[in-house]
Chain A
Amino acid sequence: MKRTSFRMTWAHWVSLFGAWTLLSVFFAPELYLFFVYRKENIGWGHALILSLANTAIAAVLVPAVVWLALRFPLGRNTWKKALAVHAPACLVFSVVHSSLYAALCFASPAFHLLFSRFHPNLLTYWAVVGFVEAFRYFRAYSERERTLANMQLELMRAQLQPHFLFNTLHTISSMMHEDVALADRMINRLSELLRMTVDRIGRHEAALSEEMDFVRGYFEIEQVRFGDHIRLEAAATPEALAALAPSMVLQPLVENSIRHGFRAHGLGGVIRIDAFASARRLVVRVTDDGAGPRAFARAGGMGIPNVRARLSQLYGEAHTFTLERVEPHGFLAQFEIPLRGAMPEDAGEPQYASSHR
């Protein structure tokens, strides 16, 4: 449980004091009427003093209750323990409060109040616990909202691939001076890729077929830019192609293979994407026959850690992600997620109510 840190300023103390005083004033008529019905007119002033005493005792005891409520939350896994603490604590609170109240008011005709205040005090205890719980839920909720918003932003930035985008524009700017037709072709490839990006922007998942198209477009541009002797092969079953896959996972894996498996070592070879469905799971594999995992670990790129983070954010325990060496040389990255079809109404988070063209 995360500790809630909070520093009291003088403004907090003043408002706290004001709130407790208001509460006393609020409950004074109740006390007054209580005595009136008992045919004992104690007067408004006396009633207010009693009420002040009542809340003052509570003001001293309530922080302890707040502390207990923070310490023992009524969560799904913690409620038993919490109840075991709160049940005796509420009795103690009520008895202590009632006795202190009776003792303070001993001189007054209100000695018998010991018992009359017992039940309302039990309610007070649980009201405080309820308030703390509500506050906790509110906190957790806004925290979650913030995380989600951040994830969304990060995803959008990743999807735009600024580094790739500006590098490709630079390639085109260089090509224009030498080979207009090739530059033209590159602009078209890049536009296709951007169109796909805009379609998917902010969506955490998309059909695997879309992801594959994106990777192919990306790969083609890389080929023209670097003239690497790398081939991309893909084999996917129709079921896998129609399944929902996380966006921004396949492309970074292929990019890693290109950069660290081949290019950093001046090697050429084959990158293979395999995707199939097995036992209600979608399995996607990226294999290369490049330099292998040592090169990956050494290079310390952000690709693999980002993929890992995205998979666990999206699927938690329900995914696996493995990296291994391929004999005689090469690298295999594989992820498995629950198989879900990319139905139109199920197509990730409906960021845009997209009409399918």
Chain B
Amino acid sequence: MRVLIVDDEAWARRRIRSLLEREPDVEIAGECDGGAAAATAIAELSPDLVFLDVQMPDMDGFEALAALPPETLPSVIFVTAFDKYAVRAFEADALDYLLKPFEDSRFQAALDRARRQEGDRGQALAAGIERLLARLPEEKRRLRRIVVRSGGRVVFIKTADVEWLEASGNYITLHVGGEQHLVRETMNRMEPKLDPEQFLRVHRSAIVNLDFVKHLDPWFQGELTLSLTTGARVTVGRSYVDRLRRMLQNSVD
């Protein structure tokens, strides 16, 4: 079993490392001291299990998970010192967690459970984590970075840099600075994770970043389109016209 250790404090990582070193079947895949590093490491190393600290200054544990495509999520044991809110969420979704400080026996129990689940992790766990993320307060749920694979490399894309998102089957194409990145995600799942002040669904298969909207072209060839500062044109769906108008109205007021 390959395990990744994530905590912003070296001593806390050492504690987990020393406990894991006793386990013959465990291989320590790596250590990360922050959420962003953790998301990259999960995408690159695809570990079987992650010990994930919840509170970290750069990007918290939930955010790191939200940045990853659901089907790449490993088994996760959350580690937290004091967060009543998170603990309630873990309990509700039967996700495993450790409260700092923890004893060897408690650690052992969590590890054993993860071992048993190793076979059928994935689906159930991904669903659990998704429900957990959905239950978090809005601002914690916001996606600030998206992890994509590009030519065998793992790339972090700042959500704010994404000009627009286009659905293509079970995937979404992110248009960023002249490049296109494919993420395995659906529009309906992506939309609520984006900041509604900045991103707007304008079509069944398009979400635009309002920071990149240049102007609205009235019924260009029978259809309403948005011109982006990058020169791209995005079609506005008929059922989204009213919402867009209202949004633009508000930004004028």
Closest A residue to B84 using CB positions:
A162
Interchain CB contact under 8 A, B58 and A227: no
Q: Does B12 contact A (CB under 8 A)?
A: yes
B57 in the interface (beta carbon within 8 A): yes
User: Any chain A CB within 8 A of the CB of B139?
Assistant: yes
Question: Is A272 interfacial (CB-CB < 8 Å)?
Answer: no
- Name the CB-closest residue of B to A179: B11
Chain A contacts for B57, CB-based, 8 A: 259-260, 263-264, 299
Residue from the list B9, B18, B55, B99 in contact with A226, Cβ < 8 A: B9
Q: Mark A165-177, 1 if CB is under 8 A from B, else 0.
A: 1110111111101
Q: Is B81 an interface residue (CB 8 A)?
A: yes
Q: Are A177 and B99 in contact (CB under 8 A)?
A: no
Query: Does chain A have a CB within 8 A of B14?
Result: yes
Tell me, in angstroms, the Cα distance from A170 to B101 when the chains sit together.
Answer: 4
A7 within 8 A of B: no
B82 touching A166, Cβ below 8 Å = yes
- Please judge, given known A-B contacts A163-B82, A263-B57, A264-B57, whether A170 and B10 are in contact too, CB under 8 Å: no
- B residues contacting the other copy or chain, number (CB 8 A): 20
Count A-B contacts at CB 8 Å: 60
A165 cross-chain contacts in B, Cβ below 8 A = 81-82
B234 nearest CB across to chain A (Å)? 27
| Structural contact, B18 and A263, CB atoms closer than 8 A | no
Q: Once the chains bind, are B58 and A170 in contact (CB under 8 Å)?
A: no
Also in contact, A227 and B82, with CB within 8 A (given A163-B55, A170-B15): no
What is the CA–CA distance of A172 and B14 in the complex, to the nearest angstrom?
A: 12
Most buried by A among B8, B55, B101: B101
In whole angstroms, what is the CA distance A227 to B9 when docked? 9
Contact B101–A166 (Cβ < 8 Å)? yes
Q: Are B12 and A227 in contact (CB under 8 A)?
A: no
B100 located at the interface, meaning its Cβ lies under 8 Å from any Cβ of chain A in the complex: yes
Could you tell me the distance in whole angstroms from the C-beta of B21 to the nearest C-beta in chain A?
Answer: 11
Q: Give the contacts of A172-200 with B (CB-CB under 8 A).
A: 172-175, 177-178
| Residues of chain A from 94 to 116 with CB closer than 8 A to chain B in the complex | none
Are A178 and B55 touching (Cβ within 8 A)?
Answer: no
Q: Is the interface of B mostly helix, strand, loop or mixed?
A: loop
Return the contact of A166 from the options B9, B11, B99, B139 (Cβ within 8 A).
B99
Max chain B Cβ within 10 angstroms of own Cβ: one of A162, A166, A174, A264: A174
Instruction: Specify which of A162, A173, A225 is in contact with B9 (CB 8 Å cutoff).
Output: A225
Asked if residues A167 and B9 are in contact (CB atoms below 8 Å), the reply is: yes
- Residue pair A171, B9 in contact (C-beta under 8 Å): yes
In the complex, the answer to whether A169 meets B101 with C-beta atoms within 8 Å is yes
Once the chains are docked, how many angstroms separate the CA of A65 from the CA of B39?
66
In the complex, A300 has a CB within 8 A of chain B: yes
Beta-carbon nearest neighbor of B56 in chain A: A264
B100-A169 in contact (CB<8A) = yes
Give min CB distance, A344 to chain B, whole Å.
35
- 8 Å CB interface, A142-174 against B: 162-163, 165-167, 169-174
Minimum CB–CB distance from A97 to chain B (whole Å) comes to 51
Question: A175 touching B18 by the CB < 8 A rule?
Answer: no
Interchain CB contact under 8 A, B14 and A178: yes
CA of A188 to CA of B78 in the docked complex: distance in angstroms? Answer: 29
Please tell me if the beta carbons of B10 and A167 are within 8 angstroms of each other in the complex.
no
Cβ contacts under 8 Å, B14 to chain A: 174, 178
- A175 contacts across to B, CB distance below 8 A: 11
- State A337–B102 Cα separation when bound (angstroms): 43
| Pairwise interchain contact B8-A170, C-beta atoms closer than 8 A | no
Report yes or no: B139 in contact with A167, Cβ–Cβ below 8 A: no
Cβ-closest chain B residue relative to A160 = B82
Closest to A298 in B: B144
Using A174-B101, A264-B57 as known contacts, list a sample of 12 further A-B pairs with CB atoms less than 8 Å apart, ordered by residue number in A: A162-B81, A163-B81, A165-B81, A166-B99, A167-B82, A167-B100, A170-B11, A174-B11, A174-B15, A174-B18, A263-B8, A264-B58
Contact surface of B with A, Cβ cutoff 8 Å: 8-12, 14-15, 18, 34, 55, 57-58, 81-83, 99-102, 139
Nearest 7 Cβ contacts at the A-B interface: A174-B15, A170-B100, A166-B81, A264-B57, A170-B101, A173-B101, A162-B82
* Chain A interfacial positions (CB closer than 8 Å to B): 162-163, 165-167, 169-175, 177-178, 225-227, 259-260, 263-265, 299-300
